[in-house]
Amino acid sequence: MEPLTTRHHRSLAMLVLVTLIGAGLLTFAQPASLTVLSREGRKPLPIAAINSLDYVAVDDINTAFGTTSREDRLAGGLTLTLRGRSIVLTVDQNVVSVSGRLVNLPAPPVRRDNRWFVPVEFLPRAMSLLLDTRLDLRRAARLLIVGDVRVPRVVARVDAGTTNVAVTFEITPNTEARVTAQAGRLVVQFEADVLDLALPSLPPQTFLTGLTAGDTPNTVVLTTGPRYASYRVTTSQADAGSGRLTVDLLPAATTDAPAAPAGPPPDARLVIPSQAPSTGLRTVVIDPGHGGEELGTQGAKGTLEKDVTLSVARRLRTLIESRLGAKVFLTREDDRTVSLDDRSAFANNHQADVFLSIHANSAVRPALKGAEVYFLTVERADAEARKRAGDQATTLPALGGGSREIDLILWETAQARYLEQSAALAGFVEQALAASVEMSPRAVQQAPFRVLVGANMPAALVEIGYLSNAEQETQLASGTYQDQVAQALLDALIKFRGFLEH
């Protein structure tokens, strides 16, 4: 009999696990299946992890491709047959014979629980010969593409503004698409057989209530919401081989309704849907500190922090756009007052992959100088986030029926789940800055900066120098120093992108 203590420990471990998942601190591997894309559409092919490799069961292959298999238990072999051709597998042999032709596998077939399993590479290497059809295994996307199917990669983004919502599709390779309006929805139809589709979760807004794969495998459906009145389509070349199509959802021109508040609506203020973990650096939000009535700190010669931060942010934007190919948004484009919470809300609404707040420092002691980098203090926010996120995990009714699990976390503690990535980001910023400008003795620090707390992505704050130091005030006001800082921040973001992509 199982001792009671073991069971107790097991349920305790489960509770801890559930709590961690609730806080979004653990992410599970993707569902264990390949999606098989063919002209007939898409179907799943289950994957099993064996010896930390991806395997597929032969009986699942039979179901997917119409092959039949026969086991020869005495010989320890299995034969897969289709239209008079055959593949012979042997347990413990990582070479298989396809109609007499030898094909290598990265690992041998495995026989387990009366089922045979082969490494996924079996599909492009051996099955393609049997089927006499190209099988393209795209491991990262967990796709198996059968035959000469046109399968562009389509990655959608949703940018929620106060007066519109823009849905942008990055299409690789560039593929024609057209948009048609139907009752309550817009249908984007691509000149393709099937789409290798990545759809984001929707930010809180009322233009768009659904973004889903369409009824046919080459379409995407935008379900429009109450604020939607019309749409506008623009296309452009993203870069060599890729195209971009943007569908702008617009409100009625005559609306007298007050403009939606910047950031999420008040009732959604406390909760934001979790996003998939970052896998790249596609959108950067730069936050030029202060602005408008808030001057920030001021140098003896009259240099204002709010002017320096905006100038550095603009220089950095230009560098990122030309060198990193990422989209860049500034929390303010000009000299205006923006609240701290609206700055992180802005980054969340743009689904930024990174948030960088730029400031200049000040101290009573005029000798203090050098740049400093901050990310959020761990302890309190972290503990709070775990506790409260667990309480808030909720199942929401999904549009079109059914329900979906959404991991809701509190707005105030959004940053807590990215502390590790933020720490890495701060490290890269410190390294890059140290290579070109003077650093303060305490170059990387943690502090509970309000502007970082609500950011639902890796975030850091940079103090690029001390305006209270005479020498540094001159530097901070100069284009040369501002360019050096911008260049260093770009270098840091390039490193950070590598870190995110591993």
Using CB under 5 A as the criterion, which residues of the chain lie in contact with Zn ion when the complex forms?
289, 296, 359
Of the pair 193, 287, the CB lying nearest Zn ion is at 287
Q: Which residues contact 238 (CB under 8 A, 6 or more apart)?
A: 170, 171, 174, 244
**Taking the complex as a whole, how short is the minimal distance between the CB of residue 290 and Zn ion, in angstroms?**
6
Report in angstroms how near the CB of residue 295 gets to Zn ion at its nearest: 10
Nearer to Zn ion, 287 or 491 (CB): 287
Tokens of 90: 């042997």
For residue 475, give the H/E element and its range: helix 470-477
Q: Which ranges in 23-86 belong to alpha helices (H)?
A: 58-65
Minimum separation from the CB atom of position 365 to Zn ion (A): 18
Q: Find the shortest distance in angstroms from Cβ 53 to Zn ion.
A: 51
Q: Which is nearer to Zn ion, 242 or 357 (CB)?
A: 357
Whether residue 71 contacts residue 59, with contact meaning beta carbons closer than 8 Å, is answered with: no
Largest CA distance in the chain: 91
For Zn ion, the closer CB: 203 or 289: 289
- Cα of first residue to Cα of last residue in the chain, in angstroms, is 45
Q: Please say whether the dihedral angle defined by the alpha carbons of residues 174, 217, 27 and 55, taken in this order, is positive or negative.
A: negative
Residue closest to Zn ion (Cβ):
359
DSSP 30: P
Return the residue matching tokens 């101290």: 363
Nearer to Zn ion, 247 or 455 (CB): 455
Give how far Cα 324 sits from Cα of 200, 201, 317, Å. Answer: 22, 24, 10
Say whether the peptide bond before residue 173 is cis (omega within 30 degrees of 0). Answer: yes
Residue 335: CB minimum distance to Zn ion, A: 15
Please classify residue 329 by burial: count the beta carbons closer than 10 Å to its beta carbon, then call 0-12 exposed, 13-18 middle and 19+ buried.
middle
At closest approach, how far in Å is the CB of 463 from Zn ion?
A: 7
- Closest to Zn ion by CB, 217 vs 289, is 289
Question: What residues have CB less than 8 Å from 206, skipping those under 6 apart?
Answer: 225, 226, 227, 260
Q: Least separation, in Å, of the C-beta of 457 and Zn ion?
A: 21
d(CA 45, CA 32): 9
Q: How far is the CB of 343 from Zn ion (least distance, A)?
A: 12
Q: Which residue's structure tokens are 């491709």?
A: 65
Min dist CB 305 to Zn ion, Å, is: 5
| Torsion (CA) 483, 484, 485, 491 in degrees, nearest 10 | 110
119 vs 289, which CB is nearer to Zn ion?
289
In whole angstroms, how close is the CB of 288 to Zn ion at the nearest point? 10
**Closer residue to Zn ion (CB): 110 or 356:** 356
Name the minimum Å distance from CB 297 to Zn ion. Answer: 6
Nearer to Zn ion, 135 or 330 (CB): 330
Q: Are 51 and 107 in contact (CB under 8 A)?
A: yes
Query: DSSP readout, 329-388?
Result: EES-SSS----HHHHHHHHHHTT-SEEEEEEEE--SSTT---EEEEEE--HHHHHHHHHH
Based on CB atoms, which residue is closest to Zn ion, 196 or 305? Answer: 305
Dihedral sign for Cα atoms in the order 441, 449, 278, 30? positive
Q: Which residues pair with 243 in a beta bridge?
A: 171, 237
Name the residue nearer to Zn ion (CB basis): 359 or 388. 359
For residue 338, which phi and psi values (nearest 5 degrees)?
A: -135, 130
Give the residue among 414, 415, 160 at the shortest CA–CA distance from 262.
Answer: 160
Within 8 A by CB and 6+ apart from 348, the residues are 203, 263, 264, 272, 414, 454, 455, 456, 457
Q: Which is nearer to Zn ion, 374 or 411 (CB)?
A: 374
Least Å from the CB of residue 306 to Zn ion = 8
